Amino acid sequence: MRWGRHRHLPHQRWALSCFLYSSSLSLSSCSSTPLSAPSQSRSQSRTATCFITGGSSGIGLALAHRAAQEGACVSILARSLKKLEEAKQSIHLATGIEVATFSADVRDFDAVKKAIDEAGLVDVLVVNQGVFVAQELENQELDEIKFMIDVNLIGSFNMIKAALPQMKKRPNGGPASIALMSSQAGQVGIYGYTAYSASKFGLRGLAEALQQEVIGDDIHISLVFPPDTETPGLEEENKRKPQLTSIIAASSGAMKAEEVAKKTLNGIKSGSFIVPCNFEGLLLSLATSGLSPQRSVLMAFVEVVTAGLLRFVGLCFQWNWYGSIQSWHAQKKSKLSTK
């Protein structure tokens, strides 16, 4: 989800935003650094092992490609055996690297635990699986709501719980990483995203509490907030979006999965807790930083200094959204009354 109306901010606001964006990039950019772990030094350097869920397509496949290119030992997990085999072949053709594949449903703890045990050591766990069906709560089937919560949230608990014992026992010390793929809909609630936003907002609470639990084991959590991304399911998802959802969350175009993968891996390697993927995402992350961990002193300063201004900008967006909702309902009632 990209907030297209940001393009109408005053020039002064754009200038400040561009400065903030360039500052964050200078802190988190690690594109020339091979994937071996977060930027903290290891007691003994070695190739990272990377386990990616939802790795057979979309962002997950792009992550697997990039991690393999950077020298990581990659394992991918998804449900479809056919898609897993296709993903394995595409990665081998592009990189010459053989990746391990595991077919399992993230909702099944025993199945994912078996996959993790077979994969062995995990330095970097990317919890990337996700499903999305846009609909107003009143009109959405309970099965769809449960499906999103189970895959997006419960599935993430399952993956992390299965992987933590091995991650804590990794040899040679050095930091490890867990990345959770949220969404900009996990930073702000939007009409028609009721169940989806709930499943993604839950990841933030999971990530913040989990970071406190595992920091003593030198495991770093990254929470990634991609916008709309060009994936196989995006076109189908958009067909079911309520009209008001499209009006409020006006899209200025989707990011490519490869771009999101690059931002994600850079964020993991820099040890960033919050990982925005584009310009609008940075503004949204600053506006919703709250009590989230911040490892950069400079970005902590930026969050404090801009808090008041970004709160005002956020209120302007909210007023605009609620105005659009009221106007839409008024027009709908007017049409019904003239029939």
Q: How many domains does the chain have?
A: 1
In the residue annotation, 251 being an active-site residue is answered as no
Q: Regarding predicted confidence, which is higher, 223 or 34?
A: 223
CA atoms within 13 A on the CB side of 337: 6
> 81 lies in a domain?
yes
Query: Which DSSP letter does residue 224 get?
Result: E
* pLDDT for residue 13 is more than 60: no
> 183 lies in a domain?
yes
Q: Alpha helices, DSSP H only, in 96-252?
A: 109-119, 142-148, 155-168, 194-214, 234-239, 243-248
> 332 lies in a domain?
no
User: What is the model's pTM?
Assistant: 0.85
> What does the pLDDT look like over 256-282, one tens digit per residue?
999 999 999 999 999 999 999 999 899
Query: Tokens 């609630």 correspond to what residue?
Result: 189
Instruction: For residues 245-255, give the mean pLDDT.
Output: 75
Query: Tokens 């990616």 correspond to what residue?
Result: 52
In the residue annotation, 200 being an active-site residue is answered as yes
> 337 lies in a domain?
no
> 75 lies in a domain?
yes
DSSP string, 43-92: SS----EEEEETTTSHHHHHHHHHHHHTT-EEEEEES-HHHHHHHHHHHH
Determine the 3-state secondary structure of 126 from DSSP: strand
In the residue annotation, 196 being an active-site residue is answered as yes
The single residue of 88, 156, 199, 200 carrying the catalytic annotation is: 200
The single residue of 182, 199, 222, 270 carrying the catalytic annotation is: 182
Query: Tokens 């990377």 correspond to what residue?
Result: 50
Residues listed for the chain: 339
The single residue of 196, 241, 263, 270 carrying the catalytic annotation is: 196
> 40 lies in a domain?
yes
> 338 lies in a domain?
no
188 is in which domain, residue-wise? 4-327
pLDDT for the residue 28? 41
> 153 lies in a domain?
yes
Share of the chain above pLDDT 70, in %: 84
Give the CATH number of the domain where residue 69 resides. Answer: 3.40.50.720
